Structure 1
Amino acid sequence: MTYNFLTVEPLSAEVVAAVLAQCLDVSVQDVDVADEDTDQELRNWDALVFCDEVTVLGDVSTSLDIYVQESVQPQPSERDLASAFASAADTVVLFPAEEAPPSAYWLATEAGLVTRARLYGSDDEPRYTIDRVEAPVGRLPHVTVARIPEVVRELKIATPLTDAFAAHLRRMHPDEAGTLGSPAWTASDRLGAWEKLVRHMEAGWAPSGWFPPDLYCERLEVRDELEQVCTQLPKDATVLLRNSLGSLDALFAELTVDDTGGLLRKELLPACAASPHGWWWNRRPEPLPW
């Protein structure tokens, strides 16, 4: 398994080797750490753990590319190893998130905190800037503490109803399903967005713990669009879409409270320019997730 870490404090090869040995429960002799000055012929190619260490600039000091042989068991997740490494090395460790933006990172502190971070790299030199964190980090007092909305949009959330609907379209209406902007394509895309909102809400907004108001507005507008596209689909697709929406709408209603007083609309405006008309605009999460 491979791990990619960045540490705020500079670390020597000896320290990195000792910490990896401790965290992975192997002998330090079975850990090979090489920096940019290491003679490759002197490396221990029989090691259980390999690590390439590079000195970088900016808000982080050391880049670590770690490879752990399959014979080393158990193999911790990147999050678990980063947390253990940060504690053992008394440092702050950043590691890439799963979401699409290249700036999306997680940050683990020596005290056990794991939070989101936004990290920008330079194109012309190995220089990094920690632009934002979602929780205060003592060793980074200059970094802005604020939520990072783009990662919520890119969260990988399972959408089983949408997957089944899309599979049906590909099987029964392949030309329509594969045409960008067609009613079938639009229905599948919008259903996926609506299902993501409802599933995220069902999970108590985990793993983000919150939801951006402008994105919430977009999801309500998507539900409006689904009403329109329903009338443009073949009958079999319309029936399946209505069945899927019935399940999701029932869950949405269960997870929300009546909002005929209009608190949600007041919170969302002016983020929402569209004129709301579906009943889903008259219900809201309690409490609001932003």
Structure 2
Amino acid sequence: MGYLFLVHHDVARSVLAAALAELLSLPVTAVDVGDIDQVDRDWGRSISCTVTPMTGDLRLHLDMWFAAGTVSPPEEEAAAWLAARLGTLIAYQSVTSRPSAYWLVGPDGHRTRARLDSGGDFDEQERTVTWITAVEAPVGLLPTVPVTAIPEVIHEYRMPTPLSDALTGTGPRPDRLAAWEALVARLTAGWCPDGWYPPGSYREALELRDDLAGTEFTSALEMIDRRFIDATVNDGGAALAQATGPVPDRWWWRRVTDPLPWRRMPGGPG
């Protein structure tokens, strides 16, 4: 087990070693901290932390590995603790393979989504240049970074689609049905992962439902539709029309959850 953390400030390696030892309730002699190009490392210690210097808004990349039997807190708790202990921001990835899928936690323990952008850039010392280009809530140490919704994380978050999955053996995967089932699963679960959903994406899901009318997936579609009806209210399409423009006259376009899924959207319509 280990952690991959990005750190806003440069931190002395001795300070970092002491903090990691304190985090895991170990003596500092159990911690090995070294830069990426350092060769005299003691890989037999309980904690090995390889530091890669960066530049931009994030100055250190920490790659930590723990020896078998080392007890460590969950990543979220460790990041918040280190941020407070070091007086800095810690970023860590929440969904793989997405630059926007990062959590950013500050020394006060406040956590928000953050969009990172390196663009493959390097400085004259061949350090990766990484900028934080957006956050979903204000961050005191980053006063000029725009505060806005970061919907990519929501789109990357996968919902279970058992009814659609069961049909994969009958031919090509019914992608539209799976997308509709995923939307209904998301709304019945309270709009996970963050409790909101963009109105434009909601509209796109209803357009997919349009394409399912008259398909061979009648039985599965009826079950998904019933869940959708049970979890929504009929507002005549007024809320979605206000957020995205006129809506078609079909029953699923007239239904939405209460409260609206985009009510808590950072910087979005209320």
Q: TM-score if structure 2 supplies the norm length? A: 0.88
Q: Which residue of structure 2 aligns with residue 129 of structure 1?
A: 131
Task: Indicate if the aligned counterparts of 1:97 and 1:106 stay in contact, CA closer than 8 A.
Answer: yes
For residues 262-281 of structure 1, the aligned pairs below 5 Å read 262-269=238-245, 276-281=248-253
User: Equivalents in 2 of 1:132, 1:91: separation in Å?
Assistant: 18
User: Equivalents in 1 of 2:181, 2:70: separation in Å?
Assistant: 39
What amino acid is the match of 1:62? L
Q: Does 1:119 align with 2:110?
A: no
Cα deviation for residue 266 of structure 1 reads 3.0
Unaligned runs of 5+ residues in structure 1 are 178-184, 231-237
Query: 250, 254, 266: which one pairs with 1:282?
Result: 254
Over 3 Å counting, the alpha-carbon distance change for 1:223 and 1:122 in structure 2 is closer
Q: Which residue of structure 1 aligns with residue 98 of structure 2?
A: 101
- Describe the SS at the equivalent of 2:95: coil
Q: How many residues are aligned here?
A: 257
User: Equivalents in 2 of 1:147, 1:263: separation in Å?
Assistant: 19
Cα deviation for residue 245 of structure 1 reads 2.0
Q: Which residue of structure 2 aligns with residue 110 of structure 1?
A: 107
Q: Which residue of structure 2 aligns with residue 3 of structure 1?
A: 3
**Greater Cα shift, 51-60 or 94-103:** 94-103
Task: Indicate if the aligned counterparts of 2:100 and 2:152 stay in contact, CA closer than 8 A.
Answer: no
User: Equivalents in 1 of 2:73, 2:250: separation in Å?
Assistant: 46
Cα deviation for residue 261 of structure 1 reads 6.1
Q: Which residue of structure 1 aligns with residue 266 of structure 2?
A: none
**Any runs of at least 4 consecutive aligned residues in structure 1 with deviations exceeding 4 A, and if so which?**
none
Residues 192-212 of structure 1 show CA distances to partners (whole Å, capped at 9, x for unaligned) of 111111111112112222111
What amino acid is the match of 2:115? R
- Describe the SS at the equivalent of 2:58: coil
Q: Which residue of structure 2 aligns with residue 80 of structure 1?
A: 77
- Describe the SS at the equivalent of 1:33: strand
User: Equivalents in 2 of 1:261, 1:198: separation in Å?
Assistant: 17
Q: Which has the higher helix share?
A: 1
Task: Indicate if the aligned counterparts of 2:237 and 2:253 stay in contact, CA closer than 8 A.
Answer: no
User: Equivalents in 1 of 2:237, 2:200: separation in Å?
Assistant: 20
Identity %, equivalent residues: 40
Cα deviation for residue 258 of structure 1 reads 1.0
Task: Indicate if the aligned counterparts of 2:95 and 2:153 stay in contact, CA closer than 8 A.
Answer: no
For residues 1-290 of structure 1, the aligned pairs below 5 Å read 1-36=1-36, 38=38, 40-41=39-40, 43-73=41-71, 75-125=72-122, 126-166=128-168, 170=169, 173=170, 176-177=171-172, 185=173, 188-228=174-214, 230=215, 238=216, 241-260=217-236, 262-269=238-245, 276-290=248-262
What amino acid is the match of 1:6? L
Residues 58-99 of structure 1 show CA distances to partners (whole Å, capped at 9, x for unaligned) of 1111111111123112x4332222112112222110011215
User: Equivalents in 2 of 1:53, 1:136: separation in Å?
Assistant: 28
What amino acid is the match of 1:246? E
User: Equivalents in 2 of 1:154, 1:122: separation in Å?
Assistant: 20
CA RMSD in angstroms comes to: 1.9
- Describe the SS at the equivalent of 1:112: coil
User: Equivalents in 2 of 1:137, 1:79: separation in Å?
Assistant: 18
What amino acid is the match of 2:20? L
Over 3 Å counting, the alpha-carbon distance change for 1:132 and 1:124 in structure 2 is closer
User: Equivalents in 1 of 2:237, 2:112: separation in Å?
Assistant: 36
Cα deviation for residue 49 of structure 1 reads 0.9
Q: TM-score if structure 1 supplies the norm length? A: 0.82
Cα deviation for residue 110 of structure 1 reads 1.2
User: Equivalents in 2 of 1:31, 1:132: separation in Å?
Assistant: 34
Task: Indicate if the aligned counterparts of 2:100 and 2:150 stay in contact, CA closer than 8 A.
Answer: no
